[in-house]
Structure 1
Amino acid sequence: MYNSLKIASLVAGLALPASMALAEGHGDIAADTVVATVNGTEITLGEMIITKAQLPQQYQQLPDEVLFTGVLDQLIQQQLLADTLEEVPSRLMVALANEERALRAGEVVDGIYQNAVSEEAIQAAYDARVAEMGDTMEWNASHILVETEEEAAEIKALVEGGADFAETAQERSTGPSGPNGGELGWFGPGMMVAPFEEAVTGMESGDVSDPVETQFGWHIVKLNDTRMQEAPSLDELRAELTQQLQEAALQARLDELGTTAEIDRPEDGAFDPSIISDLDLLED
């Protein structure tokens, strides 16, 4: 779990979406084609493409001619304002360093993710998952919930004497399933409290249990049917398996890099942890 959290924090917001990847060219036009200049500073087509791709989704739907003009105006205005900044504050230098680190790391992460996933790898992961699941029994049951063992024994006798289980549940059960004839539907291992699951495990379809005590009260249980749980399809697990393969590949690469890198970390107590919230340190 800890490694998963580290990975999630690492990749969040790092990699540029595939739609932001710059093509080698569009005819005679390439990403480094200069579209405009501001006081001698060039604004390239690639910068416009990335700016457009980072816009909120509602703006992405605008016509290209509107977006082209709007994005170019935005970059020109930003450059006009940027040119008036005579001295770069230290906090901006720190932010730029963080941004570059994040983008470079994101580019590597994107490559690791692409190489980690193939149909063969997903199929192998799926086969392993299904093998781990094994055959799992599911039960379909109904119950009548009452407060005392005496009431439960009385209901058991009524049902054995021919009383309809569903009608009796509607009349006597204090549980929320009572109005539905006590029906609980299908459930698998671990979905019911232990005494209840233990009761149905030893029953055959159509059997009615002796009184079963749980923290909710006393139950009379009728086992309606059983079935073997079907394994989910590959498509149902594809997204989860893809994420697991990607995270495993990223963690493996991080472990590999960590064994050869020279990393110096502060000793415990070297810094007051609250210092990370001191924004005044970023002021010149």
Structure 2
Amino acid sequence: MPKGLTFLPSLALAAVMALPLAAETKPDASTVVARVNGDEITLGHVIATASALPAQYQQLEDDVLYDFILEQLVQQHLLGQQQDALNPLNALRLENETRSLRAVQTVEAITAAEVTDEAIQAAYDAQFAEFEGEDEFNASHILVESEDEAKAIKAQLDEGADFAELAKEKSTGPSGPNGGSLGWFGKGQMVPEFENAVVALEKGSVSEPVQTQFGWHLVALNDKRKTQAPELAVVRDELAQTIRQDAIQAKVDELTQQATIERPALEGVGPEVMRQIELLQE
């Protein structure tokens, strides 16, 4: 039994009669699935509750989840029937929740109208149609402790020695066993002295000894390329979220301009008054 989804597990047994959905009629949101002392619980109540549950509950088997939700609603009815009305605090909470749900409906309507395949494609084209990309480099290096060591290795390379083999033999860096390969990287990912040496190289060439905080390097530029624009599928959600946020903000701005909004100053109190819950208990 999932924790937190139900409470008072046996309380409802004497007070409710669950009604099976009629096989010969198609149920709708008004179909009654339980009665508690005459108060009806409908299929709509169950569906609304299920739609608001956290993701972990959505993974439950349907029959298990249905029974638990119905049990929860029954128990809520039993406890709720003990009250004639909401107290001031809960009445205001209900007002706030109603306001929030109405706002959510407006947001959903805006999203449905504005976040379309056409809008997403247009946003993608505007952002990436003239995408030029950034430089990326594929380089290898040999790292040693002294400049003299680096110069000696450079001399070997100039005489035709294999860079990868010398890296495996001589390099003290972690890439040594892999022939000194650093793979692909962009600007800003290496220390400045190393990056400057890479940027200055032609494809297939090897630098003179370069000193960084890690020691002395010989750098070989294996290849160079431009980054490619991402596929639409990769950035679709991000673009949709941007369109959604922009559309909602535009609507808020429009409504704000059209509305008459007043904010009377609080006399004799500061914002800390919002913590005085006793004002709702008087």
**TM-score with structure 1 setting the length:** 0.75
Task: Give the unaligned 5+ runs of structure 2.
Answer: 1-23
Q: Which amino acid aligns with 2:157?
A: V
Alignment of structure 1 residues 17-32 onto 2, 5 Å: 29-32=27-30
Alignment of structure 1 residues 207-222 onto 2, 5 Å: 207-222=205-220
**Structure-2 residue corresponding to 1:158:** 156
| Helix, strand or coil at the partner of 1:139 | strand
Q: Which amino acid aligns with 1:182?
A: G
Distance 1:207 1:133 in 2: 29
Match of 2:201 among 194, 200, 203: 203
> Are residue 184 (structure 1) and residue 182 (structure 2) matched?
yes
**Structure-2 residue corresponding to 1:43:** 41
CA gap 1:89/1:48 in 2 versus in 1, 3 angstroms? same
CA gap 1:125/1:195 in 2 versus in 1, 3 angstroms? farther
Distance 1:174 1:47 in 2: 68
* Count of matched residue positions in the alignment of Structure 1 and Structure 2: 258
Distance 1:217 1:274 in 2: 58
CA gap 1:93/1:150 in 2 versus in 1, 3 angstroms? farther
**Structure-1 residue corresponding to 2:11:** none
Distance 2:91 2:84 in 1: 14
CA gap 1:275/1:132 in 2 versus in 1, 3 angstroms? farther
**Structure-2 residue corresponding to 1:20:** none
Distance 1:188 1:256 in 2: 43
Contact 2:57 2:65 in 1 (8 A): no
Range with greater deviation from structure 2 (178-187 or 92-101):
92-101
Contact 2:31 2:43 in 1 (8 A): yes
Task: Give the unaligned 5+ runs of structure 1.
Answer: 1-25
Distance 2:182 2:124 in 1: 31
- The offset of 1:43, in angstroms, is 2.2
Match of 1:131 among 126, 129, 132: 129
Contact 2:203 2:222 in 1 (8 A): yes
Identity between Structure 1 and Structure 2 (%): 51
Q: Which amino acid aligns with 1:62?
A: E
Q: Which amino acid aligns with 2:254?
A: E
Distance 1:232 1:221 in 2: 30
Alignment of structure 1 residues 63-212 onto 2, 5 Å: 63-64=62-63, 66-86=64-84, 88-131=86-129, 133-212=131-210
CA gap 1:124/1:55 in 2 versus in 1, 3 angstroms? closer
| Helix, strand or coil at the partner of 1:133 | coil
Distance 2:67 2:129 in 1: 56
Which structure is richer in relative contact order (CA contacts within 8 A, separation 6 or more)?
1
- The offset of 1:223, in angstroms, is 0.6
RMSD: 3.2
**TM-score with structure 2 setting the length:** 0.76
Contact 1:52 1:60 in 2 (8 A): no
Q: Which amino acid aligns with 2:71?
A: D
- The offset of 1:45, in angstroms, is 2.2
Deviation sequence 1:146-184 (CA, Å, 0-9, x none): 344444333322322333222222233232212211101
**Structure-2 residue corresponding to 1:3:** none
Distance 1:51 1:267 in 2: 39
Deviation sequence 1:74-119 (CA, Å, 0-9, x none): 2122111011135634432333233222211111111212222222
Which has more radius of gyration?
2
| Helix, strand or coil at the partner of 2:129 | helix
> Are residue 249 (structure 1) and residue 247 (structure 2) matched?
yes
- The offset of 1:40, in angstroms, is 4.3
